[in-house]
Structure 1
Amino acid sequence: MKSLKATEQLPRRSFLLGTALLAVAGCAPAAFRSHETETGATFDNAAPPRTASTAPWFEAFRDAQLNELVSAARARNLSVQNAVEAIRAAEAASGQAASGAFPSLGASGSATRSENAAGAISESSSAGLNVSWVLDLFGANANARKAAAARLDASRLTADATRLVIEGAVASAYVDLRYYQESMALTRRSLASRRKSLEITRTRFDLGDAAQMDVLQAEQLVAEGEAQLPAYEIGFDQSLAKLATLVAGRSAALRPQLTKGRAVPNPRFRPSVGVPADVLRARPDVAVQEKLYEAAVYDIGVARTQFLPVVSLAGSVTPTNISGGGNVTPWSFGPTVSLPIFRGGALIANLRGAEARAAQAHIAWKAAVLKAVEEVETALAAANRDARSVGTRQRLVETSRKTVELAQTNFSIGEGTFMNVLDAERSYLNAQQGLAAAVRVRALNFISLSLAAAGGTGAAQ
């Protein structure tokens, strides 16, 4: 990443330095030079760089419904629309700043008819044309134009950052929705099995083949499952409402599309984000801070020129026709020079304020760089461990399934207790829910990594 700083010393006394600079100042605005930030050669926890996919990062989920939701959010989300309007406002401000480089031209006209005491009527008419031009000898307008252009770039980058954040929010809400949906399905399947077991246990109890404790334990398992369902249902509804807000729609309109259950989306990617300099250069939020810093430095140039003379050219021509008196065409043309001598310290205060704002912008830019590095390294650390966690959970689910089958078989031939069956079923449900949670965490960490790396997370697997 690059930062900008002025290479010229700024004036501290309005009149004395203004007079001195008048003799030596050129016609160009202040020059700037750039330097690289220290970001290191690689990120911590980073894999060797791989060629990044050219597809949008969220397509790693291979989920058509998610793709549709993201597209809808990019088109209709109110935060995105607000960012687009901010671009238009910045374009207008940039155009206004650019207008200072051109002369202004105006026209006027008048006509009068009057009668004097003797009853004589006189008529007169005139038309005027005036022009004025402030010469940009010391770069005030040029610095203002560059500051406005930098802010326009910042507004465009802000829109890019907003779109990226909204994409991440949609993907996160969608992952959460599918997680709660899968958890509800797992719990309901388990409840069906537990209710069947409870029915069998009650029948056996009536026949004298089961103890009261077996019935109570079976009822407890059913109650546990029923108690879990409301939390998942609430989570589903909340995720649905969030998606509706993000796409500027209504939950009722989205619900039919998302009611059919699907597994938690599992992204196919390799956690490789490239070298830090490239990642930071791609992050729009970091680039926004750099552009705002650049604009603030140009503002210093504008404040500096307030100490110097302002030279303007002005002219006018006013043809006038007077009845009975002939035509006259007065005109005028000439330069005007104004030089600030005493403003009560206002110019110094303005300059110091511009310098302080530039220093603040520089600090904000450096903070954005550090925060970006932190986010990438944190997301990489999580992504590198997620695959191992999911794999462990998958093995646990398979082991738990076999345990349930064995416990049921042993119980059916009289070699095991009903308590063993209940414990095995409870462990199996917990293992399935744990796997769904691990896949959810992996998906959310992939989203975090994608946002931290501005979408560059390596080729999809």
Structure 2
Amino acid sequence: MNAKFVLTLLMSAALAACSTLGPNYQAPAANAPEAYRAAAPTAGAELQRDWWRMFGDAQLDALEAQALQASPTLAAAAARIERARAVYGATRADELPRVEVGASETGLRTSAKSVTTPVLGGQPITFEGWQTGVQATLGWEIDLWGRVKRQAEAAQAQLDASSLDAAAARVALTADVAAAYWQWRALADEAQALQRLRDSRAKAFQVAQTRFDAGASTTQDLERVRAELAAADADVADLPRRQALVLNQLAALTGQPAAELRLQAAPLATPPQIRAGLPSELLQRRPDLAQSLAQLHAATAQVGIAEAAFYPSIRLTGSFGYQSKDLSDLVSAPARLYNFGPSISLPIFEGGRNKANLAGAKAQVDESLAAFRGRMLQALREVDDALAELQGRAAVVEAQNRTLASSGQALAVARSRYDKGAVSYLDVTEAERTPLTTERALAQLRGAQWAATAQLVKALGGGWGSRDEGAGG
């Protein structure tokens, strides 16, 4: 009998390896273009996992470290990874036999009125006493159609998707921190330029007021200069609000109160170029695209699980133990008991449930595939947008630099003529208008360039696929 049981196990294991229902996962084609629409620089810095270190800014390094440590978004992503790992472990357990051991001590008495009560000499025979038992049970589902295998495959894919979700969250967080930091520094540059413009407008108003009092100018001239001063005052007054909003955002990203955030301003230079690579490289560079493929993998495995529901399931069960009314005779041959054998379950009528589940699983595959393609298109657009921003801003900066150079020369001429007594000081302040306004515009443009740099970093995956991906942090 024992030999038959072992033979049954061996045959069942062989059958379990014979068939796995459902389609095997195959990664879809990315259908990426040969090049980005915007001209991508072929030379430039290569992004690494801790990409912000390439800028050599200790203040930014500290903010990024604080954000990575304190971010609730990353903490939630890490918890999702642990949950997916636990689900995967529980699913893999279904591939192995399940063994349980139990013991019991039971008091019992049979009924004298039951239809199953034995009768001897017209008198019912009842039994009363205590019964002790020790028993081990074995259960194992034969994975004849690969249902358990597909479950483990889907759980592994979901675990991969959770890990990639955490990586994508890290990329987004670090890029957002850098963008907010650079925006704050750009506002600090703009504040200095704006203050110089406001001071120039104040001097111009003083000159205009003096000329008006002396009858040398009209009310229209005075009010025009007064309006320009008021506009500059309004811009200066609004700047602290804009800076506070950026600081609040940066504080939230780094997990600290805004009142405790202390930053030192430093002028922004032109951002360095970052090599964008080819569109076909995005699959290896962006964790969100890899996550989308992992979700497609999980959905594909669910089709096999749904198909297996149409076929019989076979389960091997058995138990072995001892049962005796006397504890002293418990572990003895006469007290031994066992049972074993296979059980089969075949779905006959499910009211269309299995068919509906299969249709739903296939629809989920179609949805996941469409989601991947949509995410790929969005990724390509994000890179193109960032490259277009950088190229467009660079062209405007070049034009503004020419404006600044020409207006600076005009200002020098006006000051020379003022020193010679050829023009009034009001002419000098008027000549200051264009260079000071251009300085403010350049501060804003540099801020836009650095914001586009952060956008490009995020669009390229933030160095997720780089060689140092295994580094800590």
Q: TM-score range by the shorter chain?
A: 0.7 to 0.9
Other-structure match for 2:438: 431
Q: Distance in 2 between matches of 1:77 and 1:370?
A: 29
Q: Distance in 2 between matches of 1:41 and 1:136?
A: 45
Pair 1:174–1:326, CA change in 2 (3 A): closer
Pair 1:344–1:213, CA change in 2 (3 A): closer
Identify which of 268, 271, 279 aligns with 2:272: 268
| Cα pair 2:403 2:438 within 8 Å, conserved | yes
Amino acid of the residue matched to residue 91 of structure 1?
R
Alignment of 1:240-389 (within 5 A): 240-254=247-261, 257-258=262-263, 260-264=264-268, 266-270=270-274, 272-323=275-326, 326-327=329-330, 328-389=335-396
Pair 1:248–1:102, CA change in 2 (3 A): same
| Cα pair 1:122 1:323 within 8 Å, conserved | no
Q: Distance in 2 between matches of 1:374 and 1:109?
A: 65
Other-structure match for 2:12: none
Q: What fraction of aligned residue pairs are identical, expressed as a percent?
A: 28
Q: Distance in 1 between matches of 2:158 and 2:229?
A: 61
Report the CA distance between 1:330 and its aligned residue.
1.5
- Secondary structure of the residue aligned to 1:342 is coil
1:228 and 2:220 correspond: no
| Cα pair 2:21 2:307 within 8 Å, conserved | no
Other-structure match for 1:3: none
Which range moves more in the overlay, 240-249 or 366-375? 366-375
Report the CA distance between 1:122 and its aligned residue.
4.2
| Cα pair 1:111 1:125 within 8 Å, conserved | yes
Report the CA distance between 1:61 and its aligned residue.
3.7
Q: Distance in 2 between matches of 1:51 and 1:262?
A: 24
Report the CA distance between 1:142 and its aligned residue.
0.5
Other-structure match for 2:73: 79
- Secondary structure of the residue aligned to 1:330 is strand
| Cα pair 1:175 1:265 within 8 Å, conserved | no
Other-structure match for 2:3: none
> Given the two structures, how large is their TM-score scaled by the length of structure 1?
0.85
| Cα pair 2:44 2:272 within 8 Å, conserved | no
Q: Considering only CA atoms, is the larger Rg found in Structure 1 or Structure 2?
A: 2
Report the CA distance between 1:425 and its aligned residue.
2.1
Amino acid of the residue matched to residue 44 of structure 1?
R
Pair 1:297–1:227, CA change in 2 (3 A): same
- Secondary structure of the residue aligned to 1:319 is strand
Which range moves more in the overlay, 260-269 or 231-240? 260-269
Other-structure match for 2:19: 27
Other-structure match for 1:17: none
Q: Distance in 2 between matches of 1:336 and 1:198?
A: 98
Amino acid of the residue matched to residue 262 of structure 1?
A
Report the CA distance between 1:417 and its aligned residue.
4.5
Report the CA distance between 1:274 and its aligned residue.
1.4
1:177 and 2:169 correspond: no
1:53 and 2:16 correspond: no
- Secondary structure of the residue aligned to 2:450 is helix
Deviations along 1:74-93, whole A, 9 cap, x unmatched? 22111111111111111111
Other-structure match for 2:148: 141
Amino acid of the residue matched to residue 348 of structure 1?
K
How many residues end up aligned between the 2 structures?
430
Structure 2 residue runs without a partner (length 5+): 1-14, 111-126, 467-473
Q: Distance in 2 between matches of 1:333 and 1:115?
A: 28
Pair 1:414–1:306, CA change in 2 (3 A): same
| Cα pair 1:124 1:320 within 8 Å, conserved | yes
Structure 1 residue runs without a partner (length 5+): 1-22
RMSD: 3.0
Alignment of 1:183-194 (within 5 A): 183-194=190-201
| Cα pair 1:50 1:274 within 8 Å, conserved | no
- Secondary structure of the residue aligned to 1:318 is strand
Report the CA distance between 1:247 and its aligned residue.
0.7
| Cα pair 1:214 1:419 within 8 Å, conserved | no
| Cα pair 2:84 2:162 within 8 Å, conserved | yes
